[in-house]
Amino acid sequence: MPPFFYAVRGGPTPGVYASWDEACKHGAQGVHGVQQKKFASRAEADAFVRNSPMPAAAPVPASAQVPRPRPAQTAAAASSSSAATSSRGAAGIVAGELACFTDGACKGNNHVALNVCPAGWGVAVVEDAEGDGASGAGRLIVELFGPVCLDSGSPHFLGAEVGSNNTGELSAVCEALHWLAHVERSGRSAVICYDSEYAANQTLGQQKTNKNKALVARAQALRPPVE
């Protein structure tokens, strides 16, 4: 398999890296507004870092790059520059919308209140995905990722008190909504495609919050009104 190039645009150390781990360690570290993307050629990666137009390249099969969410966990959100969208069900992605797929994970994820469990979050922004996204159709335009920040003194702190699958999922939702509000400027509406039913219910206020209250409050505050 030919090597890929992992580009980081923005943040303290933008550049092109040999792996996602290296890009995250040296380029991202959960910094708001940093954009990451994987490319098949060095020229494309360099152009992305410079924020210049992408050179022509052979297309990558969509099924190899677009995440496939569980349909029942898709819900609507709007970007900062667009009108609020209507809340929709499983087949909620429509033509012209940006689909933000969110995910979180935690190594171990046992007794998280007593143990320090490393957790992370990720966001994939896809355009031209329709229906429930399960077909893999669409084009990946932005990947965001980072660790769940537990340091309340950090500018990247979102409210997580522990590292867990749930705080990873909620952090991903917060980062996706932050990206839509402060980075995305195309004016297109957007839909959040939750990987976690828990994160969806908490963000949408459909379930009582007993844990992760500060992180849930941040997600709800970032979510724009839904008509």
Answer whether residue 4 is part of any domain.
yes
pTM of the model: 0.63
Number of folded domains that form the chain: 2
Tens digit of each residue's pLDDT (9 = 90 or more) over 98-143: 999 999 999 887 777 767 788 999 999 998 886 655 556 788 888 9
The span from the CA of 153 to the CA of 55, in Å, is 41
Residue percentage of the chain with pLDDT more than 70:
71
The predicted structure's pLDDT at residue 118: 87
| Claim to verify: residue 41 and residue 133 sit in the same structural domain | no
Q: By residue range, what is the domain housing residue 208?
A: 91-226
Pairing, β 15-17 against β 35-39: unpaired
| Claim to verify: residue 40 and residue 116 sit in the same structural domain | no
Higher pLDDT, 82 or 46: 46
Q: Which of 22-26, 128-132, 133-137, 157-161 has the highest mean pLDDT?
A: 157-161
Answer whether residue 149 is part of any domain.
yes
| Claim to verify: residue 101 and residue 44 sit in the same structural domain | no
- Structure tokens that stand for 132 in this block: 């429930």
The CATH number for 109's domain is 3.30.420.10
Measured over all CA atoms, what is the biggest interatomic distance in the chain, rounded to whole angstroms?
51
User: Checking phi first, is residue 105 left (phi over 0); if not, alpha (psi -120 to 50) or beta?
Assistant: beta
Answer whether residue 58 is part of any domain.
no
The span from the CA of 183 to the CA of 67, in Å, is 21
Contact 16, 6 (CB under 8 A): yes
The CATH number for 1's domain is 3.40.970.10
At 104, the amino acid letter reads G
